[in-house]
Amino acid sequence: MVLEPLSSISLAGNVIQFIDFCSKLLAEGWELYRSSSGATGLNLELEKAAETLGQFYDRINSCFESRIGARGGQPSADKGTKSEDALRVTAISCRGVADNLLRILQDLRVKGPTKKWQSFRQPLRGIQKKEKIEAMSKQLSKYREELSLHLITILK
């Protein structure tokens, strides 16, 4: 059977795409299999960033609680209150996104005695959740910038 030139080019392109996809999948599976943590390097970096932002929320929250406790439970009436409230609201939102991202990343870790099988199955699950992970990562970056601006405002 003779194919038209454009059809044959299209078919070759699809074959190349398929081979590229499979090779990336196998490479990620091999990385997971060899990993002692059961996660890829990128996922470990994202986990660390999410944990750091979650800890930042904890520090902000404890700081506000200690300040309220020092005033006998009465909020202050100083100029920084609006900025502090904005910082706290942003930190709460950031903590929620960070916790959701951590749950997804923990779900993508390879666990248990069936490590070989899971190492090659988890990359497929990762592809399905890739867009969600990227969206949450971008959202965390925006929150980090917002938190920095609020802190600068408070420190002025």
Q: What does the pLDDT look like over 74-96, one tens digit per residue?
A: 444 444 478 888 888 888 898 99
**Residue labelled with tokens 């917002």:** 146
What is residue 78's predicted lDDT score, i.e. its pLDDT?
A: 47
Mean pLDDT, to the nearest integer, of 128-137? Answer: 88
What is residue 139's predicted lDDT score, i.e. its pLDDT?
A: 93
Residues near 139 by Cβ (< 8 Å), separated by ≥ 6? 97
Tell me the DSSP string of 7-21. HHHHHHHHHHHHHHH
Confidence bin at 135 (pLDDT 50/70/90) = very high
Mean pLDDT, to the nearest integer, of 24-45? Answer: 76
18: tokens are 């398929």
What is residue 54's predicted lDDT score, i.e. its pLDDT?
A: 84
Whole-angstrom Cα distance, residue 122 to residue 125? 5
What is residue 142's predicted lDDT score, i.e. its pLDDT?
A: 93
Contact 87, 148 (CB under 8 A): no
What is residue 77's predicted lDDT score, i.e. its pLDDT?
A: 46
Mean of the per-residue pLDDT values for the chain?
Answer: 79
Q: Tell me if residue 67 falls in helix, strand or coil.
A: helix
Q: Which residue has the higher pLDDT, 17 or 43?
A: 17
116: tokens are 């070989």
Q: Tell me if residue 68 falls in helix, strand or coil.
A: helix
Phi, psi angles (nearest 5°) of residue 3: -95, 150
Cα dihedral angle (109, 114, 117, 119), rounded to 10 degrees?
A: 30
Confidence bin at 1 (pLDDT 50/70/90) = low
Q: What does the pLDDT look like over 37-77, one tens digit per residue?
A: 777 777 888 888 888 888 888 888 888 777 655 554 444 44
Mean pLDDT, to the nearest integer, of 109-119? Answer: 68
